[in-house]
A and B are shown apart, each in its own frame.
Chain A
Amino acid sequence: MSDHLLTTRGFTRDAAVRLLDLAEDMADTQQRQVKKLPTLRGTTVVNLFFEDSTRTRISFEVAAKRLSADVITFSAKGSSVSKGESLQDTAQTLQAMGADGIVMRHPSSGAAHVLATSGWTRAGVVNAGDGTHEHPTQALLDAFTIRRRRDGDDSRGRDLAGLRVVIVGDVLHSRVARSNLWLLTALGASVRLVGPPTLLPAHVEGWPVTTGIDLDEAIADGPDVVMMLRVQRERMTEAFFPSAREYARLYGLSVARADALPSTSLVMHPGPMNRGLEIAGAVADSPRSTVLEQVQNGVAVRMAVLYDVLAGERA
């Protein structure tokens, strides 16, 4: 039982495995004739999205509804919030309205942490992405997807010991990369970050990872998983890289690069993809790609997280 889910940093192996197992149980219920569970009946979950993210918002909405929670979705863009209302006022308003859980996407790193520790609300807080900091449910669904591909029906109780993962691209601005590196290493995997020096954080000595600037070298090592990060085209105007063409040539997962991987290696992408930039369309659609499974598994994983944060007594 957790009060909040803000980060994957500090997860123990056992806590991570337990949450993934819970997600397996949730996934099982989604194979039933009646998919809706009464678990969170009477619980109010607010989806508070200060940033557009249709897929994450819908995934959380479906997860909460499958658990019978009352779901209020609040897209803060264009609301009073964008007219200067502070996070404090929004949080206190939601508290007054009786929110038990707040799922928040926010452009500012640490916003979920501030919401959870401020005392403005007693609601359980689930971080659905905070700035360039973390996106813990994405990491959980990625780990869940890898484990299912690796161990199938026999996934429960297992970690990812020995798994070798390469995360490629704009690590500097990626909350997905941060949450994944903490979670995957907690589960026993080794993680290598690969990208242009301009898009790798300057000081990652404290991270349990290796870094590199050569994708072909990383692929020649035969990793079990290659996780491609979305590259935003705006980065070009900020001189992080000169052109889409050169980026794709250096760091894009082309068909040739994918063919150089061991046949069992997985290719992952958190979406939405820039086909032809960080990943070739044919690779994204190939059997080794888990892109659609990641989306599917998102609901079960988020059901598990909502259950974990909201089902029991609150501190």
Chain B
Amino acid sequence: MTLITGAALADGTSTDLRVADGTVVGLGRLTREPGERVLDADGLLLLTGLVDLHTHLRQPGGEGAETVLTGSRAAAAGGYTAVHAMPNTVPAADTAGVVEQVAALGEEAGYVDVRPVGAVSKGREGRELAELVSMARSRARVRLFSDDGSCVADPLLMRRALEYARIVDGVIAQHAEEPRLTAGAQLHEGAVAADLGLKGWPAVAEEAIIARDALLAESTGARLHVCHVSTAGSVDVRRWAKARGVRITAEVTPHHLWLTDEAARGYDPRFKVNPPLRTDDDVQALRAALADGTIDAVATDHAPHPAEAKRSEWSAAAMGMVGLETAVLVVQAAVVDTGLMGWPEVELAMSRRPAAIGGLTGAAQAVQVGRPADLVLLDPSHRRVLDTTHLAGRSTNSPFLGRSLPGRVVATLFRGVPTVLDGAVRAPEELTAGW
């Protein structure tokens, strides 16, 4: 048994908490029992473990950038207890066999609940539907389907996917990017791209797909999730669709809540990402939308790349940023420290709502007696300049290196077992030993 003392819950109330056999067994003012371990959480914030809807673990096929194990460690370092692994691997996760393999690797790693996302189309090629039901009914119990990295651009295929996913109450997670409007695109189509001579990625390429898909979801009665919403216009479309009663949810990444295309002026490929960093108007609109619930969740789009993929001229560099380790810190900087959101809303956006969207029935939905002990302890008063020693995955392509970030993940508990203690990710053999 373990006793966590003096922690503050999201709503500010102070509590002790007892964990036994992976479950929360006591809450309130508790007395230490003989032989019980005590974790002094005085001044720390206790939230349910974070849940990421959008993680690239790169395995199989991209082990040079990340593996299920290294990505799981990065997730734990960021306070996560569950991640949804995107299917753009080699081979793509488009069959029961591949998703079961990824899920098994996640269980073996033991740091977080690794939930595979299945591909919508075979090979993520956007032509033929993948075996959604087989994946859903496999041991991996796939609930989210996405061709992420590519848009399901063909309206017919998108409609069929939405309809067919209803068999398993699945959710189609769309990477909204009209491919003809973004061929060769390098950076948000705006003043910076004009200055830098980089081919623009227009906001309308995202907004048009979200609008189309919202109408398709409405007409099919199916569930649509929009990945990494990045523009003010997308927020408007989402608000409109919600008002019509469409079953639509949306996520935003931490980097789109903080960074703008101005960061690209030095042609540093660390700031190259898809969808691209937008303008300050977009950042402000996304923050407001997250605060008022128009955007449901924060998702990292953690996209590790080997160093050489980012050590080149801009157009040759890979798109993507790592984000698991810094997500909650960036959210604190962007919306908590700016007074837009409180911690209860952050807990909703980073843990409870993504868990609901991903169908994580076995995960902690609240800090409650009888729920799994998937927990994170944060120190919001901490501040430090991020360097690579603060990253726990295999890749270091973080846009936040060298920036001052608030907050620190002090401890993460996954099913009652600490994966992070005193801010350090524990070794695999320490996990099996428990405390």
Instruction: Tell whether A61 is near chain B: CB-to-CB under 8 Å.
Output: no
Task: Assess the B197–A87 pair: CB atoms within 8 A.
Answer: no
Task: Assess the A203–B313 pair: CB atoms within 8 A.
Answer: no
CB within 8 A of B196: which of A86, A107, A109, A204? Answer: A109
Question: Which residues A60-106 have CB closer than 8 A to chain B?
Answer: 86-88, 106
Task: Assess the A202–B189 pair: CB atoms within 8 A.
Answer: yes
Task: Assess the B197–A111 pair: CB atoms within 8 A.
Answer: no
CB within 8 A of B316: which of A108, A132, A205? Answer: A108
Q: How many of chain B's residues touch chain A, expressed as a range?
A: 20 to 34
A131 smallest CB distance to B (angstroms): 6
Instruction: Tell whether B404 is near chain A: CB-to-CB under 8 Å.
Output: no
Question: Which residues B199-257 have CB closer than 8 A to chain A?
Answer: 199-200, 202
Given A86-B312, A109-B315, A203 contacting B193 (CB threshold 8 A): yes
Instruction: Tell whether A134 is near chain B: CB-to-CB under 8 Å.
Output: yes
Task: Assess the A206–B191 pair: CB atoms within 8 A.
Answer: yes
For B189, the closest partner residue in chain A by CB is A202
CB within 8 A of B313: which of A111, A175, A206? Answer: A111
Task: Assess the B197–A133 pair: CB atoms within 8 A.
Answer: yes
Contacts of B196 in A (CB 8 A): 109-110, 133
For A115, the closest partner residue in chain B by CB is B313
Instruction: Tell whether A130 is near chain B: CB-to-CB under 8 Å.
Output: yes
Task: Assess the B198–A203 pair: CB atoms within 8 A.
Answer: no
Question: Which residues A96-141 have CB closer than 8 A to chain B?
Answer: 106-111, 113-114, 117-118, 130-134
Question: Which residues B339-369 have CB closer than 8 A to chain A?
Answer: none
Given A86-B308, A114-B267, A202 contacting B194 (CB threshold 8 A): yes
Task: Assess the A108–B314 pair: CB atoms within 8 A.
Answer: yes
CB within 8 A of A87: which of B186, B202, B316? Answer: B316
For A86, the closest partner residue in chain B by CB is B312
Instruction: Tell whether B195 is near chain A: CB-to-CB under 8 Å.
Output: yes
B427 smallest CB distance to A (angstroms): 34
Contacts of B308 in A (CB 8 A): 86, 88
Question: Which residues B307-356 have CB closer than 8 A to chain A?
Answer: 308, 311-316
Tell me which of B190, B200, B267 has the highest count of chain A C-beta atoms within 10 A of its own C-beta: B267
Number of interface residues of A (CB under 8 A): 28
Given A109-B197, A110-B198, A178-B197, A205 contacting B312 (CB threshold 8 A): no
What separation, in Å, do the CA atoms of A106 and B202 have in the docked complex? Answer: 25
Instruction: Tell whether B266 is near chain A: CB-to-CB under 8 Å.
Output: yes
What separation, in Å, do the CA atoms of A261 and B54 have in the docked complex? Answer: 60
Tell me which of A86, A88, A131 has the highest count of chain B C-beta atoms within 10 A of its own C-beta: A131
CB within 8 A of B197: which of A88, A130, A202? Answer: A130
Task: Assess the B267–A113 pair: CB atoms within 8 A.
Answer: yes
Q: Mark A173-191, 1 if CB is under 8 A from B, else 0.
A: 0010010000000000000
Task: Assess the B315–A114 pair: CB atoms within 8 A.
Answer: no
What separation, in Å, do the CA atoms of A88 and B266 have in the docked complex? Answer: 17
A297 smallest CB distance to B (angstroms): 24
Instruction: Tell whether A312 is near chain B: CB-to-CB under 8 Å.
Output: no
Contacts of A38 in B (CB 8 A): none
What separation, in Å, do the CA atoms of A71 and B428 have in the docked complex? Answer: 57
CB within 8 A of A207: which of B194, B202, B314? Answer: B194
Contacts of A262 in B (CB 8 A): none
For A134, the closest partner residue in chain B by CB is B197
Given A86-B308, A133-B196, A133-B197, A109 contacting B191 (CB threshold 8 A): no
Contacts of A113 in B (CB 8 A): 266-267
Task: Assess the B191–A204 pair: CB atoms within 8 A.
Answer: yes
Task: Assess the B194–A203 pair: CB atoms within 8 A.
Answer: yes
Given A87-B312, A130-B197, A202-B200, A110 contacting B267 (CB threshold 8 A): yes
What separation, in Å, do the CA atoms of A206 and B314 have in the docked complex? Answer: 22
Contacts of A130 in B (CB 8 A): 197
Instruction: Tell whether A201 is near chain B: CB-to-CB under 8 Å.
Output: yes
What separation, in Å, do the CA atoms of A88 and B316 have in the docked complex? Answer: 12
What separation, in Å, do the CA atoms of A194 and B95 have in the docked complex? Answer: 54
Contacts of B191 in A (CB 8 A): 203-206
What separation, in Å, do the CA atoms of A114 and B270 have in the docked complex? Answer: 13
B161 smallest CB distance to A (angstroms): 30
Contacts of B193 in A (CB 8 A): 201, 203
Given A113-B266, A205-B191, A132 contacting B312 (CB threshold 8 A): no
Task: Assess the A109–B194 pair: CB atoms within 8 A.
Answer: no
Task: Assess the B312–A131 pair: CB atoms within 8 A.
Answer: no
Given A117-B266, A203-B191, A88 contacting B315 (CB threshold 8 A): no
Contacts of B198 in A (CB 8 A): 109-110, 131-133
CB within 8 A of A203: which of B190, B311, B315, B316? Answer: B190
Contacts of B316 in A (CB 8 A): 86-87, 108
What separation, in Å, do the CA atoms of A207 and B316 have in the docked complex? Answer: 27
Given A114-B267, A133-B196, A202-B194, A86 contacting B315 (CB threshold 8 A): no
Task: Assess the A106–B313 pair: CB atoms within 8 A.
Answer: yes
Contacts of B199 in A (CB 8 A): 132
What separation, in Å, do the CA atoms of A109 and B266 have in the docked complex? Answer: 11
What separation, in Å, do the CA atoms of A203 and B190 have in the docked complex? Answer: 5
What would 29 A/B residue contacts be, using CB atoms closer than 8 Å?
Answer: A86-B308, A86-B311, A86-B316, A87-B313, A87-B316, A106-B313, A107-B315, A108-B313, A108-B314, A108-B315, A109-B196, A109-B198, A109-B267, A110-B198, A110-B267, A114-B312, A114-B313, A131-B198, A131-B315, A132-B197, A133-B198, A201-B194, A202-B190, A202-B194, A203-B189, A203-B191, A206-B195, A207-B194, A207-B195
The 10 closest A-B pairs by CB, nearest first: A133-B197, A110-B267, A201-B194, A109-B197, A132-B197, A108-B313, A111-B313, A108-B315, A203-B191, A203-B190
Query: 13 extra interchain contacts, Cβ-Cβ under 8 A, other than A132-B199, A204-B194?
Result: A86-B308, A88-B311, A109-B314, A109-B315, A110-B196, A110-B198, A114-B267, A131-B198, A131-B315, A133-B197, A202-B190, A202-B202, A203-B190
List the interface of chain B (C-beta within 8 A of A): 186, 189-191, 193-200, 202, 266-267, 308, 311-316
